Amino acid sequence: MSRTLQKLIIAFAVFAAAAARSQIETATVTGGEVRGVVKYGVASFKGLPFAAPPVGELRWKAPQPVVPWQGTRNADAFGPGPMQNPDLATLMGNFGPLSEDCLYLNVWTAARNTQERRPVMVWIYGGAFMSGTTSQPIYDGTRLAKKGVVLVSLAYRVGPFGFLAHPELSQESGHGSGCYGLQDQVAALRWVKENIAHFGGDPDRVTIFGESAGGISVSMLTVVPAARGLFQRAISESGGSLAPIKTASEAGENVRALALAEKTGAEFLRQLGANDLKAARALSATNIQQAVKGFGTFWPTLDGVTLPGDAYALFEARRFNDTPILVGFNSDEGAMFVRSGMAPAGFEKYIRANFGPAAEAILKAYPHATDAETFKSAKDIFRETEFAWPTWAWATLEHRRGTNNAFVYYFDHRNGFSPDGATHAAELGFVFHNQPGFFGAPSAGDVALSDLMNAYWINFAASGNPNAPGLPPWPAFDDQEMVETFTGPSSAATPMPNREKILAIDAYYAWRREQARTAGK
């Protein structure tokens, strides 16, 4: 090796060491000191506890304070994911351990010192409130941190561990039960408020963002009183929770009334052979998880405190955490959830049986003369009830009842994997700039689209407005109902897509709300 080359190697090593030292490598947070890992100009701190392990007597209780530790804790590995179906967790990209001891968060920062006050983005994962972890590779925060934000991802309890309601649990709490996972999110946001300045983040410029159940969580947090002041912006990707409260088997409704959730929870514990709460807390986490059958059994409950009421009514009464919002949905969301096979006659029968006086308008809005049309309409009705209508309703309520702007997007980027439209979660790789590359390396167009979405998301986190010079203009949502449509490497403002369908679904939900009001008199 030549002397010149040796000098270059030494100089590079010295430069790299100096660069690493200029990052925030250690921080003192709630509980003690932590040491992160510096790589690619970004310091990552993984597995930071924001609450005590919710095990033993703390199972099905609100998160408790962090247990302090001595010395410096190495923050170089994700904490365990929450208890869930392990096969589903692996399918979603989690290869780490699962445990009840799961209340950890992660921080990525490229800040050089604690005085920088960068905008903060807090990620909440999806998974139908039944699964999800922070360790999925697509959620890695390195690239967003490089672009100027402090990225946090938080974990929360899912399934029966996060959302079991039961009469004894309600009696124990003094109000209701079934919202432990949401309470975890609030505890993590409180940790962010108290600690994020140590990572160069601005505790008064916090954006919560999530997808699917994570986006629904963001929507719910806008009406959770305990979350007031813990965030200043909200981004929801394929989320929203504005439908009426589920009291029986109503179509398109997910948040359960406390009585219904308690009944479901009591039956679940009876099937496990647990005659009381003490016996249920003595069960192993594995036995509880193995008893879970299917999706949708456990969901946040109208417990009266964490979720104090019907979100739509709270918005109408201006009783919500009013911030700028950026919300949207994908063009072919239903493809992941709906299977073909329903004939036109069966489709008509289902709609008339479940959608009351709105059925005829829905049948008119959704073509179903052939099996192919029926399949597409079944997918689209799932898209509207679960994602599109909540997005539209949320943006409309913010425009009419709030004091901030709403920005709405429609993601319709297509490729060989999804030729009929963008499927559920298809935007995630673009938002995080971690494209999965199903068909090899991302194309130049994909990279350009990701850069564009990054710019919008980060601008919004910084100021509450995604717009900036050099970007296609994104109008705020108003009575013209213009949205930003992403179809390729660029975007354009367009009229709200699927509006006829959304309005037909809106008529259904208006009927349900009127039914609920009448029943409550």
Local confidence pLDDT in tens for the 521 residues of the chain:
555 555 544 444 444 444 444 689 999 999 999 999 999 899 999 999 999 999 999 999 999 999 999 999 999 999 999 999 999 888 877 778 999 999 999 999 999 999 999 999 999 999 999 999 999 999 999 999 999 999 999 999 999 999 999 999 999 999 999 999 999 999 999 999 999 999 999 999 999 999 999 999 999 999 999 999 999 999 999 999 999 999 999 999 999 999 999 999 999 999 999 999 999 999 999 999 999 987 778 999 999 999 999 999 999 999 999 999 999 999 999 999 999 888 999 999 999 999 999 999 999 999 999 999 999 999 999 999 999 999 999 999 999 999 999 999 999 999 878 889 999 999 999 999 997 544 557 888 999 999 999 999 999 999 999 999 999 999 999 999 999 999 989 899 999 999 999 999 999 999 999 988 887 65
CATH code of the domain occupying 80-317: 3.40.50.1820
Q: Which sequence spans correspond to the domains of the chain?
A: 80-317, 324-521
Which tokens sit at 275? 């005659």
Find the catalytic residue in 100, 253, 333, 384: 333
333 is catalytic: yes
Strands 42-49 and 325-330: unpaired
**Both tokens assigned to 319:** 């009783």
Both tokens assigned to 297: 């059994």
Which residues does 429 contact at the CB level (< 8 Å), separation at least 6? Answer: 138, 435, 436, 450
Q: Which residues in 476-485 are b (16+ Cβ under 10 Å) and which e? A: bbeeebbbbb
pLDDT at 231: 98
pLDDT at 3: 59
pLDDT in the model for residue 13 = 46
pLDDT of residue 376: 96
Tokens representing residue 137 in the block: 């590779």
Asked if 155 contacts 102 with a C-beta cutoff of 8 angstroms, the reply is yes
Catalytic residue among 177, 212, 219, 331: 212
For residue 291, what is the DSSP state?
T
3-state secondary structure 176-244: CCCCHHHHHHHHHHHHHHHHHHHHCEEEEEEEEEEECHHHHHHHHHCCCHHHCCCCCEEEEECCCCCCC
Give the three-state DSSP class for 301.
strand
Q: Is 144 exposed, middle or buried (0-12, 13-18, 19+ CB in 10 A)?
A: buried
Q: What is the pTM of this model?
A: 0.94
- For the stretch 499-504, contacts whose Cβ atoms lie closer than 8 Å and that sit 24 or more positions apart, written own/partner, are 500/365, 501/365, 501/366, 501/380, 501/381, 501/384, 501/388, 502/384, 502/388, 502/389, 502/392, 503/365, 504/358, 504/361, 504/362, 504/364, 504/365, 504/366
Q: To which residue do tokens 């399918």 refer?
A: 91
Report the C-alpha gap between 423 and 85 in whole angstroms.
23
Has 424 been annotated as catalytic?
yes
Domain 324-521, architecture per CATH: 3-Layer(aba) Sandwich (3.40)
pLDDT at residue 520 in the model:
67
CB proximity list for 185: less than 8 A, separation 6 or greater = 124, 154, 156, 217, 221, 227
**How many Cβ atoms from other residues are within 10 Å of residue 241's Cβ?**
27
Report the alpha-carbon angle 65-239-229, nearest 5.
40
Locate tokens 């009705």: which residue? 381
Catalytic member of 424, 427, 481, 484: 424
